[in-house]
Structure 1
């Protein structure tokens, strides 16, 4: 599987936000994943994939990924690509 970075937008660091940037990636030149969030937490950088918010049967607000890697190897490919671009812009 070939991933290509379509775009990356760095976001200015703020103390009240974990958000560090947004990325768009194409998979094998045939499928695009937009609005992948680059976040920074206590354990370092991580990715937030596109998601939607809804209220479940119990009345609780839930966030559900609409697309995401289904195995650690694929997640690492996304991380390597996006983290490298972020680190170039530091």
Structure 2
């Protein structure tokens, strides 16, 4: 699977932890929108789109199912975030996601 586009929307600096939103398109066929880029203690990280459950917990709507894909996705999104900070916007990026062999 290949990331064919990443769009980053920077948030206004209001001293909050939410830095930006990202939308990611895979293989020009599937999009995940509303990925949050959040400022953490050790730097920015991504939070996948989630829904609040009736018990008050949050469950991801879509997420990587292995660590390798999660790291690659996070790196790709954060790279685009840092480019957007410099450019004031984001250009499409392409990244290959390794597929698991069955």
Q: Tell me the distance in 1 between the aligned counterparts of 2:72 and 2:45.
A: 12
Alignment of 1:1-90 (within 5 A): 1-15=1-15, 17-56=16-55, 61-90=56-85
> Comparing both structures, which one devotes a greater share of its residues to strand?
1
Structure 1: stretches of 5+ with no match in the other structure:
none
Q: Give the drift of 1:6.
A: 4.1
Query: What is the SS of the residue equivalent to 1:47?
Result: strand
| Aligned residues: CA RMSD | 1.3
Q: Give the drift of 1:55.
A: 1.7
Larger RCO (CA within 8 A; separation ≥ 6): 2
Q: With structure 2 as the length reference, what TM-score do the two structures score?
A: 0.75
> Size of the alignment, in residue pairs?
85
Q: Give the drift of 1:66.
A: 0.8
Structure 2: stretches of 5+ with no match in the other structure:
86-102
Runs of 4+ in 1 over 3 A off after TM superposition: none
Q: With structure 1 as the length reference, what TM-score do the two structures score?
A: 0.84
Q: Give the drift of 1:36.
A: 0.5
